[in-house]
Amino acid sequence: MKRVLVALACLLLLAGCANVPLESQPLVVSADTPAPPANDAPEPLNDTDPLSLVRDFVRANADPRSTNAAARAFLGDQQRGSWKPSRSITIIDNTFSTVYETPATTTSAPPDPNVRTVSLRGYTLGTLSADSAFIPGSGPLEQSIQVRKQPSGQWRISSPPPTLLVTDDDFDANYNRVAVSFYSPDSGTFVPDLRYVPAKPQSGLPGRVMDLVLQGPSAGLAGAVKNLLGDQVTLETNVKNDDDGSLVVQLSGLTGASPETRSLIAAQIVLSMQTVTSTRIRLLADGAPLVRDHEYWRSSDVPSYSSASSPSPDLLGLMTVDGRVRSLSDGAPVPGPAGDGTYGVVSAAQSIDGKRLAVVEKDGDRVSLRVGDLGRDLPLVDLSGGSLSRPTWRPAPSGAGSSGEVWTVVDHSIIARMVLDPTGHWLRQSVNANDLFALGDGTPTIDALRLSRDGARVAAIVNGQLVVAAVVRNGDTVTLREPRVLQPGDLADVVAVDWGSTADTLVVATSSTSQPVQRVSVDGHRMDAFNGSNLTAPVRAVTAAPSRPIVVADAGGLWNATELGEVWRPQPHSMANASPFYPG
C-alpha cells in the first residue's frame, strides 16, 4: 500500500509539472509585478566592502531575469521582497565612481559603524522607457545608497535606488535592439521603431518582439504610423517552435479583417521578427492561416513596400554649384532654367521619384522658392524670406503619383509646407511645431530640416543640435510631436543632416575637425564616427540614401564613402563649392 501511495504521489507531481512553462518572460519589477518571496541568485562575495558592493550592484542591475534576482542578491533581507524599481531603466556612462558620504554632524550621537552611505556619481546617457524605447537625455548623476551590515557580518544595500541604473556596455550586453515595424499609410511603407528587449533567454526573443508588435508604436512614433492590430487582437498561445521547426504565431480577434489588412499584418510580423529568428514563421488567426493559402512565411516572402520611399537606382543625385543644378554623376547641368543659370540657385531638392524640383532662388537680399517639373520652367510660389532652408519633399502617398508637398524653414524660425492643390497651384500651409519650439530656452534657431523618406519623421538642426520628431497628420493639420535631441552630451555644432542608407539612421556633418561626419541611430542610442583622416575642415554638406554612397562636401570638394572605416574617395566630377543631394 505504501508503494502504491508513493507512486500516485509521483504521478500527481508530474501532472502538475506539465503545466509549468519552460521559460518565463524576463520583466523589470514594477508596482504591478509582485516581488518573489525568495531569491536564488548567487550572493555577493564575502567581505565585499560597501563601495565595491554598490559597483557590483550596478553591474547586476543589467540582468532583468527572474524579476531582477541578480540585483536583489545585493539587498538586505527586508528589502529583497519589497524593492519595486520603476519600469524605466537609467543608462549611465561606463565610467562612474563610488565614494563614502560624510556622516551628518547635526546630532551629538556617534555615527552607526554598521551603516555607511555611498554616493554613486556618474553621467546619464538616457533612459529605457516603459515601452522599451530609448529616450536620450544627458546630465550628471549623483545617487545616495545606504549600505548596512547584516547579522551575518556582510554588507548589504538597505536603501536601493527607485530606478535601475545600468552602464552603457552592460545594457548592450543584456538587451537586443530590434526594429519593430509599423505601417505608414502616408507612404505605403513600413517604418522601423527601435526597441530594446532582454537578450536572454534567447529562445524567448520572438515572443518578446511579438509583445511589442501587439502593444503598438512607442511614444516617439505614436500617431505617425498605424497600429494594424489594434486593441482587439491578442495572442491565442505563446509564440513557440512547432515540431516541424517553424515558429508559430497564433492570433485571435481578426475575424472580419480584410485580405489587404491581413497581408499587411503578416508583413509587419515577419519584418519585425527578421532579426531574432531565421526560421519559417507560421501565421495563424482564429484557427486558420492569417493569409489565405499562405500559412508559412520568410522575410523573402514579403513584397517590397519601399518603392514610394526609395529613389530609383537610375537617380544618381544632383548638386548645386555656383547658382546652377548639375548632375552628381557626370557634372552636366540639368535641363532647363535650373541648370542653365537663369535662376540664381542657392539650394535645391529633387522629389523622391525624380520628376520634380524645388529650388531656393537668390532674389536681391532675399530668397524665394520655385517648384515645378524637372527640366522645365519652375514657377515661383508664394513663399519668400530672408532665408529658406534647403527644401525637403514628402513622399507621395501610395498610388498617388508624384509628390505634391515640399517643406522648408523660413528665416530659421517658421516651418512652412507648400501643397499642390487639385487646380495645380502650390498653396502655403502651416506646421504645428510648438513642441519643437519648446526645446531649450528662448526661441530656437532651425538651420536645416529633412523629412524621412517614409514621411513618419523629421530631422532638424536646432541650435546646432540634432533633433528628431514624429510627423502626425490629422486631415489638413500636421503636427511635430515628441521632439528629442539626439546625443545631447556629445553631438554639437551640427551643420548638415540627411537620412541614412537605412530608415533608422541619420548622417550628420559637424564643425569638428577630427570627427566631422557621424552616423546616428534614429533614437540617438548609438553614434559612430566615419573616418575623417583625409577630409579638410570645414565639412559643409552631406547627403545619403539607400544603396548609395554617402557624399560630403568639404573645403576641397566632394568625397564619398560607404563604410565607417573607409578613407573618403574623391567624387568624380567634383567641383569647388558644390553641395550634393539625393532625391528626398
pLDDT per residue over 518-527, tens digit each? 999 999 999 9
Contact 215, 477 (CB under 8 A): no
pLDDT in tens, 45-77: 999 999 999 999 999 999 999 999 999 999 999
pLDDT in tens, 96-125: 999 999 876 555 677 889 999 999 999 999
Mean pLDDT of 254-264: 95
- As given in the structure block, the three cell numbers for residue 205 are 526573443
- As given in the structure block, the three cell numbers for residue 512 are 569638428
Is the per-residue pLDDT at 543 higher than 50? yes
Mean pLDDT of 289-303: 95
Amino acid making up residue 469: A
Distance CA 27, CA 33 (A): 9
Domain ranges of the chain: 41-103+110-174, 175-301, 318-581
318-581 shares the fold of 41-103+110-174: no
- As given in the structure block, the three cell numbers for residue 378 are 519652375
Distance CA 424, CA 201 (A): 57
Domain 318-581 has CATH 2.130.10.10: yes
% of the chain surpassing 70 pLDDT = 91
| Segment among 33-37, 157-161, 310-314 with least mean pLDDT | 33-37
Q: What is 41-103+110-174's CATH number?
A: 3.10.450
Mean pLDDT of 409-419: 96
Contact 509, 469 (CB under 8 A): no
DSSP of 344-412: -EEEEEE-TTSSEEEEEEEETTEEEEEEEETTS---EEEEEES-BPPPEEPPPPTTS-S--EEEEEETT
Distance CA 459, CA 480 (A): 10
